[in-house]
Amino acid sequence: MNTFKIIPTVESSISCASMSDLALTNIDINSPAEYLVNDTKCVLSQMISPDTSIDEALTIMKLSNKRSVLYVGVDLKLLGVISGVTLVSRVVLMVAKRKGVARADLTVADVMNYTYKMPAIHKNQVLKARVGDIKQTMESLGVAHIQVVDENNKICGVISSTDISRVLHEPVYINATAHSFKDFFDVLHEHEELV
């Protein structure tokens, strides 16, 4: 008969622990913004590949009980973020039409927010900020995700507007903004919406 031994455990890292829904219900507009930072150390283990189809991403989100965002990357490198709201929005259909492909042929890379396009905030600024400050910044910039970078300007976290909406029980108003001449041209001449 085999005898097994008890393996000693250690306290888990607080930075990678997911907050319980109970903890999230206590967050308000004046709470420290750091509560909303999704630490990249935790995110890297949950990443999906950029070539994952839209339907597969929706299934992953459903099966993993993720309600807001999926992180996209390759070889432990975060490439972008995709929200559940985007996956079921008309943005997917607009991108499919623009590319001339069927919706089923799109991947998350076609509709995700790329990290290189996301604005970044230094971690020390986040540590001084409140949830309301981050919400105001996102609404002002018209962005759904903001990177948090360390003192070496390396990404160490991501803040999502869907997380803010979920904890505050109110919308974060993200208005798409034209950031290039091509964006202006597409809206005015091609009658396309900003994605």
**Burial track 19-51 (b if 16+ CB lie within 10 A, e otherwise):** eeeeebeebeeebebbbbbbbbeebeeebbebe
Is the pLDDT score of 130 beyond 70?
yes
Q: What is the CATH number of the domain that holds 97?
A: 3.10.580.10
Q: In this model, does residue 22 exceed pLDDT 60? A: no
Range of the domain at 146: 30-188
The answer to the question of residue 183 being in a domain is yes
Return the residue matching tokens 């990443």: 47
- Rounded average pLDDT over 172-181: 72
Dihedral in degrees, nearest 10, Cα atoms 117, 119, 123, 129: -150
- Domain assignment present for residue 22? The answer is no
Residue 5 lies in a domain: no
E strands within the chain? 38-39, 69-74, 77-83, 113-114, 120-122, 145-149, 155-160
Considering the domain boundaries, does residue 10 fall inside one? no
When divided into structural domains, the chain yields a total of 1
Residue 158 belongs to a domain:
yes
Q: Is residue 162 part of a domain?
A: yes
**Looking at the domain assignment, is residue 163 inside a domain?**
yes
Q: Please name which of 159, 157, 160 lies closest in space to residue 78, comparing C-alpha atoms.
A: 157
In a domain, 36, yes or no: yes
64 CA to centre of own chain:
15
> What tens digit of pLDDT does each residue of 96-118 get?
988 999 999 999 999 999 998 88
Is residue 145 within 8 A of residue 110, CB to CB? The reply is no
For range 117-130, the mean pLDDT: 90
Q: What is the pLDDT of residues 33-55, one digit of tens each?
A: 899 898 888 777 778 999 999 99
CA torsion 126→130→132→137, rounded to 10°?
Answer: -20
Q: DSSP label at 192?
A: P
- Per-residue CA distances from 110 to 58, 107, 113, 169 (Å): 15, 5, 9, 29
